[in-house]
């Protein structure tokens, strides 16, 4: 890499990025362009405004377009997603046209659909026709027909083209249906040696239309199991499984793709993705073992990989525990915390399985000393404290789990924390804060609202109670929960005479009428 400021540590300010981009006038080496692109991506990650983030990613995409078209396309795709612009979409379409995967599952046609939606008025008709043509090119007659139906037929300048495309789409729809029926019959009657090819053909035809992804994935898996070419099937199966969003199916597809002829770095990337999928060792041990073996070929000294393989492969319990203890000691001596944690967890699971609870607890405590928020260790102690009815320690564990929880799990944990906190009536301020936290997570949580109402009424904090109801009305209106709004207004009216809340009542009534 050339001697320039682009080789210095990352600079966080926009002004520094601007200087680096300006420097490209003097230093156009691929290394410098890639370095500036990396910093633009970092800056985009910190940017909150979608349009600004999109612009940064688009600039980064342009910098690496020549040396890394795949990454350029990914960056531009994210830029277009954040802020769909017609010009950005056209650049993305030209890049995607060079990718073989763009033809699968109608990706190019769907991209052109999106571009047509943001096309300026004078380009809208042209963009829709282009999208319909793209669907027809890959046999998606039904999608093409849907696009053509959305075109304003009062514009006669392209009526002949539209009519021709519509006829082709109708032929494709009927032809596809006939082909599917024929292949279904062939699959039913096929001998074992021909069944794989018939299933592959069936999946390919489904991919050309709007076939259900689950059915496509099943056909591809069966074709591969029947002896179809892994190089032809596995990558497509992985794409379909990823789009389907079924974790175990995707893991099986990725494992199959490890046997494909592909560059070493792509094979390693697939193995790494597989090995790092949540609970893969527990739920799909054979798949995990396959991925870890590939990784060990390139990383023979990695203790974390060795720990997991020993845990998965070793049949003799005594031998496995001895080897895991040895690896844990090695990891401790070489300060490899990740491997030490992996070995301790593997041993703790084995001890728990044979009711050696004291040894298991000691190992879990060792894990928490290294990784205080380790999810498996926290779950272990949560179960233990529940069994022992130890509310104080359980509260500590739940508070740690709350930091990494999301969705319904976060709400449930916060609610339980508030419930446990309320058992100690000597600290009402802590109880109030716990229920307020539940409302911050779920503003319309009835349990939290009711508990806070009781507390505020007992303390005769009428204005705070009115503020609480006001906040509930605002949240309910945002969610169009009109019954909650009405009930809240009724509750507020019942406060009449309890403190100076006339201003709040007037405000709420205005909100309700609005």
Query: Residue 227 contacts by C-beta under 8 Å, 6 or more apart in sequence?
Result: 193, 196
d(C-alpha 460, C-alpha 466), whole Å: 11
**End-to-end alpha carbon distance in the chain:** 62
Amino acid 381: pLDDT? 92
Backbone angle region of 110, left / alpha / beta, with phi > 0 → left and psi within -120 to 50 → alpha: alpha
Q: Are 347 and 328 in contact (CB under 8 A)?
A: yes
Query: Residue 439 contacts by C-beta under 8 Å, 6 or more apart in sequence?
Result: 445, 448, 449, 452, 471
Q: Which two tokens stand for residue 46?
A: 């910190």
Q: Is 499 helix (H, G, I), strand (E, B) or coil?
A: coil
Q: Are 400 and 377 in contact (CB under 8 A)?
A: no
Strands (DSSP E) found in 434-512: none
User: Which residue do the tokens 């910093």 mark?
Assistant: 39
Q: Is 380 helix (H, G, I), strand (E, B) or coil?
A: helix
Q: What is the pLDDT along the chain (514 residues), one digit of tens a residue?
A: 334 434 333 434 555 556 665 665 555 678 878 888 888 888 888 777 778 888 888 888 888 888 887 788 888 888 877 777 788 777 777 766 666 555 555 566 666 767 777 778 778 888 888 888 877 776 777 778 878 888 876 666 778 888 888 888 888 878 877 777 777 777 777 776 677 777 877 777 677 666 677 887 888 888 888 888 888 888 888 878 887 778 888 888 888 888 887 888 888 888 998 888 888 888 889 999 999 999 999 889 889 999 999 998 877 888 888 999 999 999 999 899 999 999 999 999 999 888 888 899 999 999 999 999 888 999 999 999 999 889 889 999 999 989 888 888 999 999 999 999 988 878 889 999 999 999 999 888 989 988 998 898 888 888 888 888 888 877 877 776 767 766 666 666 565 555 444 555 555 555 544 4
**Residue 206 DSSP code:** H
Amino acid 4: pLDDT? 40
User: Phi, psi at residue 415, to the nearest 5°?
Assistant: -65, -40
Q: Which two tokens stand for residue 314?
A: 């070793």
**Residue 382 DSSP code:** H
d(C-alpha 500, C-alpha 435), whole Å: 25
**Residue 260 DSSP code:** S
**Residue 85 DSSP code:** -
Q: Long-range contact list for 407-413, CB < 8 A, 24+ apart?
A: 410/441, 411/438, 411/441, 411/442, 411/445
**What number of H helices and E strands is found in the chain?**
28, 0
d(C-alpha 88, C-alpha 111), whole Å: 11
The DSSP result for 2-20, as a single string, is -SSGGGSSP--SHHHHHHH
Planar angle of CA 233, 236, 240, nearest 5 degrees: 130
User: Which residue do the tokens 């009305």 mark?
Assistant: 473
Using the Cα atoms of residue 363, residue 364, residue 365 and residue 368 in order, give the sign of their dihedral.
positive
Q: Between the CA of residue 185 and those of 177, 188, 396, what are the distances in Å?
A: 13, 5, 62
Q: Are 471 and 441 in contact (CB under 8 A)?
A: no
């Amino acid at each position: 890499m050339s001697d320039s400021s682009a080789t210095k540590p990352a600079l966080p300010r926009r002004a520094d990025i601007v200087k680096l981009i300006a420097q490209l006038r003097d230093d156009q080496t691929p290394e410098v362009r890639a370095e500036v692109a990396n910093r633009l991506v970092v800056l985009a990650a910190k940017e909150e405004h979608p349009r600004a983030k999109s612009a940064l990613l688009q600039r980064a995409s342009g910098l690496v377009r020549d040396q890394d078209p795949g990454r350029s396309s990914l960056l531009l795709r994210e830029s277009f997603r954040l802020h769909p612009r017609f010009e950005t979409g056209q650049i993305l379409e030209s890049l995607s046209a060079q990718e073989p995967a763009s033809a699968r599952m109608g990706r190019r046609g769907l991209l052109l659909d999106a571009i047509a939606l943001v096309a300026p008025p004078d380009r809208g008709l042209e963009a829709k026709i282009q999208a319909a043509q793209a669907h027809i090119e890959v046999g998606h007659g039904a999608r093409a027909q849907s696009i053509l139906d959305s075109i304003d037929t009062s514009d006669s300048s392209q009526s002949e083209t539209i009519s021709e495309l519509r006829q082709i789409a109708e032929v494709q729809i009927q032809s596809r249906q006939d082909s599917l029926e024929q292949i279904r019959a062939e699959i039913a009657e096929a001998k074992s040696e021909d069944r794989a090819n018939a299933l592959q053909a069936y999946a390919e035809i489904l991919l050309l239309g709007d076939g259900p992804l689950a059915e496509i994935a099943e056909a591809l898996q069966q074709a591969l199991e029947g002896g179809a070419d892994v190089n032809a099937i596995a990558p497509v199966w992985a794409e379909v499984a990823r789009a389907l969003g079924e974790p175990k199916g995707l893991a099986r597809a990725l494992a199959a793709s490890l046997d494909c002829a592909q560059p070493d770095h792509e094979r390693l990337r697939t193995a790494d993705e597989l090995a790092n999928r949540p609970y893969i060792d527990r739920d799909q041990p054979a798949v995990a073992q396959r991925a870890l073996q590939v990784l060990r070929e390139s990383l023979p000294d990695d203790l974390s990989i060795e720990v997991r393989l020993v845990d998965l492969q070793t049949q003799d319990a005594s031998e496995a525990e001895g080897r895991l203890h040895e690896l844990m000691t090695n990891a401790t001596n070489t300060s490899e915390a990740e491997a030490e944690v992996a070995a301790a967890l593997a041993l703790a699971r084995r001890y728990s399985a044979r009711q050696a609870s004291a040894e298991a607890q000691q190992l879990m405590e060792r894990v928490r000393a290294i990784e205080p928020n380790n999810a498996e260790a926290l779950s272990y102690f949560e179960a233990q404290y529940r069994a022992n009815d130890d509310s104080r320690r359980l509260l500590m564990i739940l508070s740690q789990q709350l930091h990494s929880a999301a969705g319904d799990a976060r709400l449930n944990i916060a609610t339980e924390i508030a419930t446990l906190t309320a058992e100690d009536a000597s600290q009402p301020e802590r109880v109030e804060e716990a229920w307020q936290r539940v409302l911050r997570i779920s503003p319309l949580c009835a349990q939290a609202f009711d508990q806070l109402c009781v507390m505020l009424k007992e303390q005769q904090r009428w204005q705070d109670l009115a503020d609480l109801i006001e906040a509930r009305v605002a949240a309910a209106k945002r969610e169009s929960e009109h019954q909650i709004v009405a009930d809240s207004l009724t509750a507020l009216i019942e406060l009449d005479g309890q403190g100076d809340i006339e201003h709040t009542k007037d405000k709420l009534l205005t909100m309700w009428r609005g």
